[in-house]
Amino acid sequence: MKDELDTGKKPNWCSGCSDYMLLSEIKSAVRKEIESGNTDKESVNIVTGVGCHGKVFDYMDVGGVYALHGRVVPTATGIKAGNPSLDVIGIAGDGDTYAEGMSHFVHAARMNPDFTLLVFNNEVFALTTGQSTPTTEKSKQTGSQPTGNPHDPVNPLKIALSSGASFVARADAKNVKHTTRLIREAVSHDGFAFIDVAQQCPVYNPFDREIEEKMSPLDDFTGADSLEKAEELAEKWSNPEESNSLPIGVLWKEEKNTLCDKYPELSNLEERGTGWYQFRE
């Protein structure tokens, strides 16, 4: 029987790609949110960027838009500002977000628009056949740096925390149950809910087995009880080879005014209407 969230198109990622798992986790989380009465199919909107991840939108029968490269965050922010009653999920890649889109990412953490951002972080530009991104491991040989990447990678978790993000999480794509729960937590959070997902690209950047084995879920989904502790957890991901345990789960969660709270006129749907077309009248 066709799933109500399924477009009926057959996914065609490479064999063994983590994107298959992530598609199933996103669908499962959305389905559970609908069944729990927290949202409905018509209210779910997806924004994808440019990269292998972008095909998620081909396979999910919900509203949304393909954004330009690096522009998932401003597009999702605009959709939410245009109609705050929607549940917006941005899906982007690591090159997409931390290279072309880095400034948008920092300012979203600062301004707190109410949407979820899932970054499929395989530490490589996969769609364009294996160039380095800002999260590529130092010394790794890639298509754009065949003698090895000379740069230290950025730590997106630390950037999000230092920029003021109200929800910061790290997920492991192959931990299906845990990642599904994290997505549900993010979708129900009021504000910018950011999940950096460790995933592999078996073609251009297969998983490092040692790091995989060190990943360990945090005890609950409440986040650390201080920003300092959250930063300590995030720091473990700066040098994964040197850490004994790598935390996955919600590192930080707090209540903060969202972008719409800061501009109350945005949320007054009765006065200004819900459709973008009404802005044009």
Select from 11, 14, 139, 272 the one that contacts ligand SF4 (CB under 6 A): 14
Residue 93 interface partner, choices Mg ion, ligand SF4, none, CB cut-off 5-8 Å depending on type:
Mg ion
Which residue from 72, 159, 84, 77 is spatially nearest to 119, judged by alpha carbons? 72
Give the helix/strand (H/E) hosting 193: strand 193-198
Per CB under 6 A, 19 contacts ligand SF4: yes
202 belongs to the binding site for ligand SF4 (CB under 6 A): yes
Beta carbons of 95 and 125 less than 8 angstroms apart: yes
Q: Count of CB atoms within 10 A of residue 59's CB?
A: 21
Q: What is the CA radius of gyration of the chain?
A: 18
Of 52 and 161, CB closest to ligand SF4: 52
Position 219, amino acid: D
The DSSP 8-state label assigned to residue 152 in this structure reads P
* Alpha-carbon gap, residue 58 to 48, rounded angstroms: 10
Rank residues 90 and 191 by Cβ distance to Mg ion and give the closer one.
90
Taking CB under 6 A as the rule, does residue 13 contact ligand SF4?
Answer: yes
Contact flag: residue 203 with ligand SF4 (CB under 6 A)? yes
Query: From CA 279, how far away is CA 81, in angstroms rounded?
Result: 12
Binding segment toward ligand SF4, per CB under 6 A, in 158-166, 195-203, 210-218, 235-243: 195-203
Give the number of residues in contact with ligand SF4, rule: CB under 6 A: 12
Q: Rounded to the nearest whole angstrom, what is the least distance from the CB of residue 249 to ligand SF4 in the complex?
A: 24
Q: List residues binding ligand SF4 (CB under 6 A).
A: 13-14, 17, 19, 52, 122, 126-127, 201-204
